[in-house]
A and B are shown apart, each in its own frame.
Chain A
Amino acid sequence: MAIVESPTTPLELSPGAARVRRPLGGFTRPTATTGWKSWLFTVDHKKIGIMYGAASLFFFLIGGIEAVLIRLQLAAPGQKLYSADLYNQLFTMHGVTMIFLVIMPMGAAFMNYLIPLQIGARDVAFPRLNAFSFWCFLAGGIMLNTSWFLGGGPDGGWFAYAPNTGVTFSPGHGMDFYAVGLQIVGLASLVAAVNLITTVLNMRAPGMTMMKVPVFTWMSLVTQMLLLFSLPVISVALFLLTFDRLWDANFFNVAAGADPLLWEHLFWIFGHPEVYIIILPAFGIASEIIPVFSRKPIFGYPFMVFSGIAIAFMGFGVWAHHMFASGMGPLSMAAFSLSTMFIAVPTGVKILNWMATMWGGKLRFTTPMLFAIGLVTMFTIGGLSGVTHSIAPSDTQQTDTYYIVAHFHYVIFGGAFLGFLGAFYFWWPKAFGYMLDEKLGKWHFWLTLIGFNLTFGPMHILGLQGMPRRMHTYVEGYGFEFWNLVSTIGVFIIAVAMLVFAWNILRSWRAHRANPVDVGPDPWDGRSLEWSVPSPTPAHNFDEIPTVSHLDEFWHRKYQEDEAGKVVRVATGEEVAQKGDGTGVHLPSPSYWPLVLAVGLLLIGYGVIFNLGLAAAGAVVLVLAGFGWGYEPADDPEAHHGPEANGDEPAADGDGAEREPVGVTAGAPESDEKASSDE
């Protein structure tokens, strides 16, 4: 927490009174450390990260089923497996689900879990706000998906161009769910952005200057900056759409003088930074995995960091390349064409730096490494087709065809998603204390790679042959038959690959339960600080907050130069890792209020669509939760200090001023630890 409340207030008569004091809000705080309650009310960044990951995989299942249904319909020309109406809902929800409920929270999962560990902190800056982000995201995801049972899903495409999303053209409740549901999901991301930016800027371990921050955390910081500045734009657009649909506000009503291009601009001013929001965390992941399995530091760390920042800045100036056919003048087209072209430069730098990192290394082809190499090669294809979009005249042929569909799947699936899959394999032992099976992992990788290329490779051809997107069917005789069939076959290979993944998780877990093997803190010979704590990570993360003197701090504690100036191993990971003893560590306390607040938001969401009375009830819940939250100290003075600390708090209760904020603690390094690394 950035703001730490004193456990004693001026009104208290004696330290003893704190024992009976209850936080205003009326309830005793939750205390469970195991069982479902420990998850529902947790403020632990690791549990929240795991819940983000689990939720994103669950939504991936839903979005994947939608994808399979889409491909089934398009397997052959003229098929009528479902109506045009249902098909439109399917592709809309596929896009919305995969972007907002899969890829973004998957990034959030790794950011939540890893950022505090990589910067040497015990939690994020605002732990309860972090819990709220997750529940708010889940509320939005539930809201969006319940639309299927409450009159049908949104049918205007994830891009939702006005006026096709107006009540006249989309009379059901689907687009209401889109507008309100995404608003709630967006709020979750905005809150998380504030939280994580604060965390990275303020809570780094002593000695960790910005240029010693691991690349993943750097890219996460850049991503959160993008979110902070782009989400308000889509929030405004969604409010306009909501008011338009529910209360005839006429923002996008052409008959009332509106210009529908207003929506397009607002959407893409958010929507293009969104592309980098999706891909940058995966770039960070590749920059963590590739050095570990090349046994070399990342090549050109400053270039990697600054190219990420450059991408983020330029990412705000390229949005209108989504609109080259929307009737802009040639001068505007030229400007956006140029900016789009040159954003390829920092992106290309990253690709070449990854290759240079591998160059001269000793490559170990573990599953995470395979996925990371998959990212480098597949994203390159998406990047190259992206450059062809920047050629504005050429883009007027390609835009809104399957060529675009191919392009962004090579970016989002071939780039971001492959990266995340690698990340699951890489950090799984850190989160759960056991490895995922390597052999099944390799099956998973190769099936994914083949299925992915079979599904999306042919779409390049289909697009160049003139097949538009978002068609519920296509006619014979236009040369679309063969490649559509290939693509549908491909999607089933992806489905099999994901079943292998699920089977891998299940089997590895069972094997671990039957015969637990300690993977140790550092199963991969890792480089950054998360590998210096036991696996699974203890609740308090670090026994002592480390003092950082290098980029790749943990690696530098294992490897030193010998007298001849040759870098040799001086210690194993186990020897220099922390022992997981949390004595005396005070952690932020669990809380009911983040969950209650999110439930209030969910009620308001349904309420504005169906019944304003319900919305009012939701508002009451929201306000009450806000009060409860506000009067509740961030950390409960009665909470135990660490797992074995029952009652032996050092000097604590009488003098609150001595309690230091979690994570900001500048713990002095253990002298013996330092000695071992210096030898």
Chain B
Amino acid sequence: MQSRPERPARPATSSRLRRGRLALVLPLTLLLSACASYAPQDTLRPKGPFARAIDNLWDGVFAIAVVVFFFVQLGTLFIIIRFRRRHGDDELPSQTHGNPRLEIAWTLLPAVILAVVAFFTLRTLFDIKEVDEDDLTIRVVGQQWWWEYQYDTNGDGTFGEGDVVTANDLVIPAGVDVHLEVTSNDVIHSFWIPSLNGKMDAVPGRVHPLMINADEPGTYVGQCTEFCGLSHAYMRQRVIALPMDEFEAWLEAQQEDAEMPDPDEDPEAFAGAELFTTQCSGCHLARGINDEEFEAQGNGEELLVARNAPDLTHFASRGTFAGATFDLWVDADGDEIVEADEIGGELNRAELEAWLRNPPEQKPMAADHVPEGGDDRVRGMPNFNLQEDQIDQLVAFLATLD
């Protein structure tokens, strides 16, 4: 430090206070500016009645919290200024030991405020947790690291066998309550679409109800929120809400089998279908293409810890692949989310090819070898060391599965 002429010292408290004020105001400023940027997973922008009920509750509690925040911070600031010790003041301040009446008051006051909050909390809680079994029910199954959705299309009251089974994009009708039955095939996951409702854990061996409802047709994003291992960050999910008639048409179309590509019209896709049948039947089913091979190899239950891989029958009708980690189609309007009307547009060929070339490199998975079954199972999709022409064939085939 260089020597300087002596300056009269500034009263220490003033500079301290200025810095103190900055430190107090900063976090609040940050908090208030939270709504400024584009955030599709924002919990404070509800797009359906359940999320809105929660948001309304939050608004009230937040307002109370802000008042208490300012009371304590500004109160402390005031005390710091008002009651700082002046230089040379050696007098003892008045020795107050307490004031029971005051203390009882500030014990009761928060209790009363909280009782009011509690009333609204409980009312909202029982509202959003009320399950109507007559609503459209969809089974939501988590596994490392993707979500499966089962619609009871054959009406037998169970899910899976003979039903429409999809992945990544949960398609629902807009404007009506939808009842999800959330469960898991391996570890605990959590299903969460912030703009539609709070989250619900998917616990293996248990089925948990979650109600969602989207006001408007649209695409709503979310992701797994219970730590589930290597690719927790890449386990995403989306809800596509369609107008009721479109939803019904979609569900109808999903019940169709896939068609074998014509070897003359599209030889590359046909070769891809053949390759798919020989290489992929241990885990993946494309109804109408490899039903027999899939069943012969154990219905996809032999090679994976979760005993389940995505049903690819209508792969190309979805907006994403690999646990909604990647967009399957190029985002046409540039808003970062591939919406329902962009599905079937321009294929995101680069990422799909990269995925087939070496899946564990694209997304961390516990699949460092091609498993043999029995005790040798993996979690996720291993690298099959496909040749470039095989990858092209598979891509051509997958694109036909709309």
Contact = CB atoms under 8 A, between A and B. Distances in A.
19 contacts: A259-B206, A295-B85, A327-B200, A334-B125, A341-B114, A344-B110, A348-B110, A397-B194, A400-B227, A401-B43, A449-B23, A460-B30, A460-B31, A465-B39, A466-B41, A468-B192, A472-B364, A482-B37, A567-B95
Contact of B336 (A170, A325, A384, A477): A477
B233 A254 contact: no
B187 A163 contact: yes
A355 B188 contact: no
Contacts of A361: 83, 93
A259 B305 CA distance: 18
Contacts of B34: 460-461, 464-465
Interface string A469-484: 1111110111110110
A655 interface: no
Interface stretch (A17-25, A38-46, A80-88, A590-598): A80-88
Given A163-B187, A260-B204, A469-B227, A337 B118 contact: yes
Contact of A473 (B61, B98, B225, B233): B233
A349 B114 contact: no
B76 A362 contact: no
Interface in B130-176: 144
B73 A380 contact: yes
Given A363-B84, A460-B31, A474-B233, A388 B58 contact: yes
Given A260-B203, A377-B72, A394 B54 contact: yes
Given A373-B80, A465-B39, A384 B69 contact: yes
Given A355-B75, A394-B54, A400 B225 contact: yes
A138 interface: no
A472 B76 CA distance: 39
A575 B72 CA distance: 40
Nearest to B40: A478
Interface of A: 83-85, 88, 156-157, 161, 163-164, 168-170, 254, 257-261, 294-297, 299-303, 325-327, 329-330, 333-334, 337-338, 341-342, 344-346, 348-349, 351-353, 355-356, 358-365, 373, 376-377, 380-381, 384-385, 387-388, 390-401, 446, 449-450, 453-454, 457-458, 460-461, 463-474, 476-480, 482-483, 559, 567-569
Nearest to B44: A464
A8 B359 CA distance: 76
B230 A84 contact: yes
B120 to A, nearest CB: 9
Contacts of A473: 233
Given A261-B206, A387-B61, A397-B54, A356 B93 contact: no
Contacts of B31: 457, 460-461
B61 A453 contact: no
Given A460-B30, A470-B232, A161 B227 contact: yes
Interface string B15-50: 010010011101100110110011111111000000
B2 interface: no
Interface of B: 12-13, 16, 19, 22-24, 26-27, 30-31, 33-34, 37-44, 51, 53-54, 57-58, 61-62, 65, 68-69, 72-73, 75-76, 79-80, 83-86, 89, 91-100, 102-103, 106-107, 110-111, 114, 117-118, 121-122, 124-126, 128-129, 144, 182, 186-188, 190, 192, 194, 197-201, 203-206, 208, 222-233, 305, 336, 364, 379
A296 B96 CA distance: 7
A-B interface, 5 closest residue pairs, ranked by CB to CB distance from nearest: A396-B198, A466-B41, A479-B39, A477-B336, A471-B233
B53 A363 contact: no
A364 B186 contact: no
A345 B228 contact: no
B118 A338 contact: yes
A463 B199 CA distance: 13
Contacts of A568: 92
A202 to B, nearest CB: 28
Contact of A393 (B37, B98, B121, B144): B121
Nearest to A481: B37
Nearest to B30: A457
A306 to B, nearest CB: 10
Contact of B24 (A157, A302, A364, A377): A377
Contact of B232 (A259, A385, A471): A471
A384 B62 CA distance: 9
Nearest to B221: A478
Contacts of B231: 84
B110 A345 contact: yes
Contacts of A461: 30-31, 33-34
Q: From A164, A300, A394, name the one whose CB has the most chain B CB atoms within 10 angstroms.
A: A394
Q: From B53, B57, B98, name the one whose CB has the most chain A CB atoms within 10 angstroms.
A: B98
B198 A453 contact: no
Contacts of A373: 76, 80
Contacts of A157: 227
Given A345-B114, A466-B194, A474-B233, A355 B79 contact: yes
Contact of B186 (A169, A330, A460, A468): A169
B63 to A, nearest CB: 11
A344 B83 contact: no
Contacts of B200: 325, 327, 396
Given A254-B204, A337-B125, A449-B23, A360 B94 contact: yes
A396 B23 contact: no
Contacts of B19: 446
